[in-house]
Every structure is written in structure tokens, then in C-alpha cells.
Amino acid sequence: MYWTTLIALDSNGRPHIAYYDNQGHAINHAAFDGSAWSIETAVDDTLATRDLAMAIDPVDALHVAFINQHDGILRHAENSGGAWTIEKVDGGNGGEKARDLPGLAIRSDGEILIGYQVADVDADAGEIRIATGRTGLWNFETAEDLGFEAAYHSRSTKLAVGADGHAYLIYTHQSASGTVMTARLLTDATGVWTGEPVGTVTSSTFDLSVDADGFTHLTQVNSYKGVFTGPIGPASGRAESWTSREINTGAAPRTPVDSAGLVHVLYANAGALRHAQFPLDGP
């Protein structure tokens, strides 16, 4: 059984897939060279976790960020030298633990950005933190202060970089009762991290992308109502309100943006992989 399957295209348009193998307890990398698929282990069972994110940099190196929930450490793996190397980025220091699914994006100059939740039980503190830099050299900043309770109940984080080079992060937060889940959008478009509410969401399983016009697209799963494009809103300070629209029932959404800036929604439905494109004229 496979968990958290992620896909990205390199500069030659060839697909790379990173996924957690629940039987081998490893993070694997599958690549297609134009004629055949190859599979290798990126992270073995001593560190691997299903809480991972993936991105490809401008020189086609693959990067994986992952958080091991047992030790609360955020790690970064990459294969720029041919073989996979793994390093600790943050977390696991005293009572401070990195939590849940991280977000990962790479700017056009190769700078890596990782967004993630941190909860510190000793200091009764928590935040959404951004790690930026390159392999072996990381800088950290607080994108939003949450407090310990809010950080503890925060869930998935997704991170994307727009054509303007600005970063956009969405994270979900579950109420202490577990009955309400909300999402917030953070961006560094003004030079400092600022946030705005997206509203109530139905699942912590979602994907984030930014289209050619700078609009953010949050595609989420609801086991009762389906996959949505949206909310679609002001990624760069526009006055338009967030809206949502149902596409179809489904699961495991991914929202890639093509070279023309069009948003595509890929999702599983009735045992098949299905595709929708934004703007949408109907289901």
C-alpha cells in the first residue's frame, strides 16, 4: 500500500513520483526516462514517514521534505549529486517538535522554502515556521505565531511559489473539539509574512497552486461533497472574495499548473484517475 503519492515534471517534461511505501516503510522515488520506469529508495525505514512534500529545482534535482512524527524532526533529502543525501533541518530540540505535513517549494534561483508547524510544549508556544536556503545552510523565520494549543491542533501545510517569485502558504487548523476545520493563507508578497482567513474547510487533505495571474487555488477533498476548486482568491492583495465550486466526488487531489499558467485538477474517482481544468464549464 502506498501513501502520500506526489508527482512533478522535470525540465524535459518527464515525470518523477515520490511516495511512501507502507509495506517497505520507505520513501521511494520513481522516474520515467522516456522509455522505462525506474524505482529507488530515497529514505529508508529508519527515518521514512508518510508526512512528506516534493519539488524539483531548476537543475532537475529532486527534493523531499519530511517530518518524522516520532522524533519531531523536519528533514530534507535531495539527489543533486546522483545519490540521495539526508539532513536535519529543524525540530526535535527539547520540547520543540515539527508536526504533520510540511510544504515545499523552490524559487527560480534554486532557493528552497519549507513551511511547517512547530509546537513547543516546554515553552507553551507554537508557530508556522519557514526554513529557507540551500542544502546545509538554513535560515528560519516565523510566518505566523499560533501559540502551543493552536499549533498542536494545526494540520497540513502546503507551499507554492508564484510567477512573481513570492511564496504562498496555506495551513489548516482543527478546533480542540475536532468539529471545525479552518484554513489560512499566508504570503510574503509585501516583504513580510502576512495572513488572511480562507474560511471553513472540509478536510486536511488538499493541494495548493498559484496560476499565471497570481490567484491561489486550494483544491480539497470532502468525502461527502467531493473535490473543489477553490476557494480561489486574492493571492496578491486583490479585493476579490474567496469562492468555491464543486467539481466531482473524489480523493487525493493534485493541482498542477501548466506552462501556460492553466490550473489542472487531478483526482481519484470510482477507481479511475480523472482530470478537470480551470476555468471550469461544469463537472
Residue-range domains of the chain with CATH:
55-251 (2.120.10.10)
* DSSP secondary structure code for residue 121 in this structure: T
Q: Which of 274, 223, 252, 206 is nearest to 3 (CA)?
A: 252
| Three-class DSSP category at 86 | strand
Q: Are strands 216-222 and 206-210 parallel, antiparallel or unpaired?
A: antiparallel
Which tens digit of pLDDT belongs to each residue from 11-59?
Answer: 888 889 888 887 788 899 999 998 999 999 999 878 877 788 999 999 9
| Three-class DSSP category at 144 | strand
What mean pLDDT value characterizes the chain?
Answer: 79
Q: Which of 101, 95, 139, 138 is nearest to 117 (CA)?
A: 101
CA angle 237, 172, 267 (to 5 degrees): 90
pLDDT for the residue numbered 103: 93
Cα-only R_g, the chain: 18
- Provide CB contacts within 8 A for 62, sequence distance 6+: 8, 16, 18, 29, 42, 54, 55, 56, 78, 79
Is residue 281 scored above 50 in pLDDT? no
Is residue 234 scored above 80 in pLDDT? no
* DSSP secondary structure code for residue 151 in this structure: H
Measure the CA–CA gap between 66 and 74, rounded to whole angstroms: 6
What secondary structure does DSSP assign to 189-219, as a single string?
Answer: TTSS-EEEEEEEES-S-EEEEE-TTS-EEEE
- pTM listed for this prediction: 0.84
Label residue 210 exposed, middle or buried (CB < 10 Å: 0-12, 13-18, 19+). Answer: buried
What the block records as the C-alpha cell of 55 is 519539488
| Three-class DSSP category at 1 | coil
Measure the CA–CA gap between 246 and 233, rounded to whole angstroms: 16
Least confident among 117-131, 148-162, 251-265 = 251-265
Is there a cis peptide before residue 279, judged by omega within 30 degrees of 0? yes
